[in-house]
Structure 1
Amino acid sequence: MPHPTVADIFRSMAQQRNAFGPFVLDRAAGLVRRDGEEIGLGQRGLALLDALLSADGQAVSKDDLLARAWPGQTVEEANLTVQIAALRKALGKAPSGLEWIATVPRIGYRLPHAHSSETAPRAVRPTIAVLPFESLSGDAEYQYFAEGMVEDIIVALSRFRTFAVVARNSSFVYRDRNAPIRDIANALGVRYILQGSVRRHGDRLRVAVQLIDADTDTHIWVDRFDGDISSLFDFQDRITEAVVGLVEPEIRKAEIERARRKHPDSLDAYDLYLRALPHFRGTTATVRAEAVRLLEQAAHPDPGFATGLAHAAWAYERHETFGSGLGDTERQRCLQLAETALEIGYDDPQVVAICALVFTNVGHDHQRGLAMLRDARDANPNNPTVLSLFAFLNVMAGDIDIGRDTFLRTLHIAPGALENYEILVGVGIAHLFKGEFEQAVDWASRSLAVNNEWLGAYWTLAAAYAHLGRVEQAQATIAKLRTKAPLMRVHDLERHRPRYAERYEIMIGGVRKAGLPD
C-alpha cells in the first residue's frame, strides 16, 4: 500500500476541518450535507456554521459570530440567538441527545472537534412508561375508552422535559402480557411505570391509577376517579388532567430522594440539580447560597442542561427577592444564566417560565416576562411550575383575577406539588391586592400551616392583619418574621417597586403598619 503524500495529508486535514459527525460543509458550493444528503441552511446559518467549524472545537465569541454572519452591520445579539436556534433545529440532535452546537457560558458557542468522537456529558433524565389500562368490565367500548385515555396521558406527559416518556408503540406491546413490572421496566429501559384499570358500575365508571418505582417495585402514588358514562369525554379529560398534574411532582420527589442517597463522587448534573431543590426554597442566605453552589456546579459537567441553568438563575433571583439583593456581578451572572438557559431550552415550557420570572424580577422587564409565560402556559397547561409562575406574575403585574384563578387550578390538578405553600400564599396576595383582607389572612395562614418558614406568607399575613386594624396580630406576625429574617426591613420590600408598581404599595404599607422597621 503506497504511503500518503504530503498533499494527501493536507487534503485529509482539510476534509476533517470541513466535517463533524455526519455533516460535511462544502464551502465552494455553499451547502451542508448530512450523510450525503443536502440540508437547507440560509446564508447566515452557513456563515455561522463555517465560523464554528473553522474554530476546530474552540469556543467562538458572540461578537465574532455576529461579525461573520452580519459583516459590516450593527445588529442586536437577539438576532444571533434566533439564528443559532434555527441552525440547531436544522442539524438535529447529536448521538448524545444534546445539541451539536454547545453554548459556552459568558463566551459564545462551539462545535466538537471535527476529528474527535467526543460526546458531551449529559444530564440523564428519568424515564416513564404508561402501560395500557386494563378494562375489567370485558366491554370493548370501555377498552377503547381506556386506550384513548392512555394516549392522551402519554401526549400530555410528553410536554414535560424533566423526564422522558416511552412512545405508545413501545409501551402498548405489553397490552396482553402478564409480566412482572420490573421485567417490563428493564425491557423498556424506564424507571417509572404508570398503569391503571377501568371498571363499570351501572352508569358509573371507576378508573384506578398507580405510579410505580420499578427499581424498588413500590407504589409512589395511587388514586381512583369516578365519572358518569353519559359524559365520557369530559371524564377522560378530567382524568388526564389530574394524572398528569400529579405524576410530575411525585416523580420529582422520588428523584430528589434518589439523588440524596447517591455517593457525592457519583453525582452527575441532574443529581446536583435534584440535590439543590430542597435548598432552593430556603429562607436563610446560607441555604440559598448552597442552592446556587450546587446549581453552578451542575453547569460544569453539562453546560447544555437547560433546566439546571434556569434553576441556577432562579436561585440567584431568590437572593434578590428574599435576601439583601444582588450585586452587579451577581445580577449579570443571573441574567446571563437565564439567557443561556433560554437559548438551549427554548422548547421547554418550564425553562421558558423560569427565565420569564428572572427577566421580570431581576431584569425588570415584566412585559417580556408576561408574554413568555403566556407561551409557556399554552405549551404545557399541566405543568405546576409553569402554571404557578404564570399565576404569580399575573397577580403581581398582570391580570389579578387570571392569576388567582390559575393558582386555584394549579392546586386542583397538583395537590402534591412541592411549591404548594407558595401557591397558597399567591392566592392570598391576590386577595390582598384586591382589598379582600379576610380572605388574604385565610390563604396566608394556610400557606404557613404547610411551611412556616416561607417569608412571603408572613409579609402577606402581616399586611392583611394591619389593613383590617388587627394590630396585635399584625405585630405578632412581624415578630415571627423577624425570628426567621432578623435583618429584614421595609426597604427590602421597597426594592421590588420597579417590578410591580402601584399594586405593591398595599403590601409595603401593610407591613409598615404592622411594625416592620424601615
Structure 2
Amino acid sequence: MAVSRKLVAVFAADVEGYSRLMGADEVGTLKGLTERRAILDRLIEEHGGRIANTAGDSVLAEFGSAVEAVQCAVEAQTALAQTNSSLPPDKYISFRIGVHIGDVMVRAGDLFGDGVNIAARLQSIAEPGSVCISGATYEQVKKVLPLSFTDLGPQQVKNIGEPIRGYVAGRLVDTPSAAAFASSSKSLPLPDKPSIAVLPFHNMSGEPEQEYFADGIAEDVLTTLSKIQELLVIARNSSFVFRGQARDIREIGRILGVRYVLEGSVRKAGNRVRLAAQLIDSLNGSHVWADRFEGDLDDVFDLQDRITQDIVAALEVRLTFGEVARVWRKRSGSPLVYEHFIRGRTLNLNYAKHTHAQARLELERALAINPAFTPALCILAFTVTDQVRFGWRRDETTSYETALEHGGQAVTADPSNCYGYMAIGYVRLYQRQYDEALAAGEKAIALGPNCSDAYTVAGMCLSYAGDFRKCAEYEKQSQRLSPLSRNDSMVDEARAKFHLGNPVAARDIASRVLVERPHWLTAQAILVASLWNLGSEDEARLTVKRMLADHPSLTASRWAQGLPYRHQTDLDAVVTPLRLAGMPE
C-alpha cells in the first residue's frame, strides 16, 4: 500500500476520564460523546480539516493551515464547555486537544509519524477543556489569531527525544495561565475572615451567545461582594479560569485559598430571567445555602442583589453603616449592554493596535445603549489611555482628557465603583499628575478592599511616584486576591524590588513573568537592569537582543519616554543598564 509524506497541522483530541465516565453511566456517556463528536466533526469540516483516524473517545484530524487548526480547537473547546454547562461536574465530558504542525506519513488516509505523536503528547499534557499547541504551531499563529498564548516551557514527552515547547491557546477571557497549572498542587492558607470565590455561572439558555450575559451576572455578584471589608473575594481573573473544568469544589478552594465557593446558572428566555445559585463549603463540599430567583429582564440587578444579600447573611457578615449604603446602592441600566462590554474588554486584553480600536468601538456601542454603564466607561478610559501610551494615537493631550472624562463620568454615575477611580488614577499617572494619581488609587482601594486590580493600579502609581516599599505591599495583596492571574502585579513588584536594592528578587520575579509572557517588554527591561547590576552582563546583553528582535525600532530614549517616573534618578537607574547592555540610544 502506497505511503506518502506531507506537512500538515495535526489536531489530536481525547476525552478526559473516559473509562470512569463509561463505568458510571455507559448509555449516558455514549449519548453525550455522540453529541460532542457532532460538534467536533462540524467544526473540523468548517475549518477545512479532514478527520483521519478515530478510536472511541479520540479524534485525529489534519489541516492544511495551522491557523485553521488552532482556531477550530479553541472554538471547539468553547462549544464543548457550553454542552457541559447544564450538567453536574461529575458528568462533564471534557476533551483535551493538542495541535502540532509537522511532517506526517499518509497511508490509506490514516496519519502516522512523529508529527502525529507530538500532537498526541501535547494533547496528553493539556488540561481538560484546554488546547495545547507546539512551539512550531505558535510561531505560525501568534500574530494572526486574537488569542491568549501561555508558554508552558519545554516539555519532555514520552517517546520523543527532544523536549517540545508547549503553549496553552485559548480565548483571552478565560485561558488558564501557567501559574494556574503550577499552583494546582499547592495550597494557599485560609485568611482569618470569610473568603469566597465566584465561579462563572452556567449558561442554561441553549444559546452560546448568552454566555456573555451569564458572565455579566456572575461578575456583578462578585463585584458587589468585593466591596465588603470583612470578606476576602478572589478576582474573576483567577476564579473564571475554572470554566468548563470538572474540578472538585474542595480542590478549587484549596488552589484559591478560600473557604466558600459560589456556583450558579442563568436561564434567559425572552424577557424572563431565572437564576440559581449555591454556596458550598470547600472544606467538606457541603452546601451552606442555595436558592432560585426569577423575574423580568429589567429586574436582573435586583435579582443579583438578592443573591448577594443572602450570601452575606449566610456568612454572618455584618456591614458597617457606610457599607450598607455603598454595597446595596440602587443601580440603573439595561443588562443588554453586557455583550458589547465583555467583547470590548476581551479585545482590550490583547494589546494590539487593531484590537484596541475594535475594543473602543464595542465599548462605545455599549454606552450608546446605556451612557451611564460604569464598567464600559472605566474600560474605555483604560483603552483610550493605552492607545496613546503605545503610540497608536497621536493626539496625546486630547485623548488623555477624553479618557479622564470617561473616568469622571463613571464616578458620577456610581460613586461607589472603585474602577472609576482606578481609571482616573491610571490617566493621571500618564499625565504626570502624581498626587492626583495616588489619591485616586487610594480611593479605589477604599471602595474595593477586595479588588485585586485596585491594588495593582495603586501599586503601579506608587512605583512610578517613588514609594517602592508601599508598592511592593500592594502588589502582594493583589496577588493574594488573584493567585492564578498575577503577572501585572508581579511586574510592578519586580520594579519595586529593583529600586529597593534587591536585584536578585527583581530578577527572579521578572523571570517568572517571562515564562508565561516571554515578550513582555517591561519585564524584560527589569530583568536586564537586574542582571546588569548583578554582574551578569552577557545574560543582560542577550535579553536586549531578544527585545530588539521583537521590536527592531526600539531605542533607550524611546523606552524612557514612555515610563512615567516622577524622579529622574529612578528612571536613569532602569534605563542606564539597558544602554550599557546594547540598546541603541
TM-score (norm 1): 0.50
Larger relative strand fraction: 2
TM-score (norm 2): 0.45
Larger radius of gyration: 1
